[in-house]
Amino acid sequence: QVQLVESGGGLVQTGGSLRLSCAASGRTLRTYAVGWFRQAPGKEREFVARINRGGGTTYYADPVEGRFTISRNNAESTVYLQMNNLKPEDTAIYYCAANLWSGTSSASAWDYWGQGTQVTVSS
């Protein structure tokens, strides 16, 4: 079983950047597909991006396409989410999730979750 820990959240102004990290322990992350989700207060958890086990295939939600980049370093068992040109509507708790298969944009399809990291974008 893999344990996931997110880091890198914080407070940033509109137009700024942050890089989130999702580090794995317990098992190597190289055998898992990884996704990022976010949840704003009063809203459902929503898909942000996902990456396959090898790192060659990525998918993004429309609101973040072109601004966010998901990548992975399997040697370090870490997945990253580079977030550029941040907007106030990006404010949320960001979670990473892992799955032994490819995963989908549905949160219910992912087996393992981290505790989340807060991202706040001020206007």
Residues in the chain, pLDDT under 70: none
**CA–CA separation, 108 vs 53, rounded Å?**
19
13 exposed, middle or buried (CB, 10 Å; 0-12, 13-18, 19+)? exposed
Q: Dihedrals φ, ψ of 2, to 5°?
A: -105, 140
Q: Dihedrals φ, ψ of 4, to 5°?
A: -120, 140
- What local confidence, expressed as pLDDT, does residue 28 receive? 86
